[in-house]
A = this chain, B = another copy of it.
Amino acid sequence: MEPMEPVRIGVVGVGNNISALLQGVQVYRNLEAAHGRDAEGLPGVTRCDIGGVRVTDVRISAAFDVAAQKVGLPLTEAVFAAPNNYPRIVEVLESQPVKVSPGARFDGVPEHLAALVPVDAHADRGIEGVVEELLDTRTEVLLYSLPTGSPQAARFYAECALRAGVALVNCTPDPLATDPAIAARFTAAGVPLVGDDLASHLGSSVVHRTLLQLVADRGLDVDRSYQVNLGGNADFKNLLVRGEAKRTSKHNALGDTSSDRVCVVPSGGYVPVLGDQKVGYVFVEALGWGGMPATLEVKLTVQDSSNAAGVIIDLVRLAALARRAGVGGPVHGAASLLKSPPPGDTDRSPDAFDRAAAELARRITGTPLPGEATAVGEAAVLGGSLG
């Protein structure tokens, strides 16, 4: 694949996810420096290259946050500021010219009034300021990664992306790609929109779903099952309060394997000593031959923000390809990496992602795919946003 320009990313929320993203990219740059840029098999990387953009071809071009301890700092320092607790995994981070800009504040607006208030009226920083910074920094993709549960903030930054013509990736369950009105505006504006809600690189939901499916495939009957998750980062503290929405979302993530014999506890507790680690306990009791029980007891331990960054790295590259290819609206093909993909994007296989990326790359370079005479079926791959 032809090399392409590095992707320029603006980040909203300089939390653990951005620390993991920035440090991880540095880890892989160091590996490439040691083993050559064409190194295959970078550990923990799903796709070294997507349409000519390698995992190391991403740059943070802008950053927004509201925390006093982060705003104004160089990004490479801000990612280590409290309450961030993702561990330091590289000794030296290459300096980057980006400082953290003040983002919009929405805390003071009561929830029940928020819908009535114009989206930027109560922002410290107006939409114009954010848009200007995105344009000045030639940002291609805006990565929205604030704590769950700020639908106003989500809509504010969606508006910014629309006005600046910058692709948006929504890491949170606050609905953007799954909100028909918002999705329509991105389609109309020709701006790509990727979301909603990151699936984990390797998370409790996919482990739970896989085991329930395995039991069913083998012909045993699930008698009772549960999943409970523990964590110690800010996101987890937040979940304790907003558990019900997340519970629904996680039940959805189980798909057909869900039932009233299956209980999901998205956050079983805020456990500070876990730091940025996340622990998931999964239990499955099935009835086998003669009704005799078979049980599976699982503990999953992951670095929560690595689990996010390992997915973000693919989504931002997909979003950049879509923008470069001139394809707007909800981008299809990423359902394997999202908890709530846009309506109609139902293929959760990794292949669907690869096919969508290949088609976007083809459009950018103008080269037909091998053995492909016409663009038949491309709408199915890329969604309804194609002109």
A residues at B contact (CB < 8 Å): 20, 23-24, 27, 41, 43-47, 89, 201-202, 206-207, 210-211, 214-215, 217-221, 223-226, 228, 230, 261-263, 265, 268-269, 271-274, 279, 281, 283, 286-303, 306-307, 309-310, 313, 350
Query: By the criterion CB–CB under 8 Å, are A301 and B295 in contact?
Result: yes
Decide if A269 touches B228 in the complex (CB within 8 Å). yes
Given the complex, which residues of B lie within 8 Å of A306, measured CB to CB? 288-290, 292, 294
Q: Given the complex, which residues of B lie within 8 Å of A201, measured CB to CB?
A: 218-220, 288-289, 294
Contact A271 B228 (CB under 8 A): yes
Q: A24-B290, A268-B269 are in contact. Are A296 and B299 (CB under 8 A)?
A: yes
The docked-state distance in angstroms from the alpha carbon of A45 to that of B225 is 19
- Inter-chain contact B206/A290, CB cutoff 8 Å: no
Verify B289–A294 contact, CB threshold 8 A. no
The answer to whether residues A228 and B310 also contact, given A291-B89, A300-B294 and a CB cut-off of 8 A, is no
Please give the distance in Å from A249's CB to the nearest CB on chain B. 16
**Cα(A218)–Cα(B306), bound, Å:** 13
18 A-B contacts, Cβ less than 8 Å apart?
A: A27-B291, A43-B291, A44-B221, A44-B292, A45-B289, A46-B219, A89-B291, A201-B220, A202-B218, A206-B214, A210-B211, A225-B273, A226-B273, A230-B268, A288-B302, A289-B313, A290-B309, A295-B301
Q: Cα distance A307–B289 when bound, in Å?
A: 7
Expressed in whole angstroms, the Cα–Cα distance for A269 and B47 within the complex equals 36
Asked if A274 contacts B41 (CB within 8 A), the reply is no
How far, in angstroms, from A16 to B223 measured CA to CA in the complex? 22
Which of A24, A44, A207, A261 has the most chain B CB atoms closer than 10 A to its own CB? A44
**When chains A and B are docked, how far (Å) is the Cα of A250 from the Cα of B265?**
21
Q: Are B214 and A288 in contact (CB under 8 A)?
A: no
Whether the Cβ atoms of B265 and A269 lie closer than 8 Å is: yes
Chain B min CB distance to A63 (Å): 19
Q: Complex: how many Å from CA A89 to CA B288?
A: 13
How far does the alpha carbon of A287 sit from the alpha carbon of B297 in the complex, in Å?
A: 21
Question: Residues of B contacting A298 with CB < 8 Å?
Answer: 296-299
Please indicate which of the listed interface residues A46, A201, A269 has the most CB atoms of chain B within 10 Å of its own CB: A269
Rounded to whole Å, the gap between the CB of A18 and the closest CB of chain B is 13
Which of chain B's residues has its CB closest to A273's CB? Answer: B224
Q: How near does chain B come to A300, taking the closest CB pair, in angstroms?
A: 6
Taking the nearest CB of chain B, how far is it from the CB of A353, in angstroms? 10
Expressed in whole angstroms, the minimum distance between the Cβ of A318 and any Cβ of chain B is: 14
Ranked 5 nearest A-B pairs via Cβ:
A46-B219, A268-B268, A265-B269, A289-B310, A24-B290
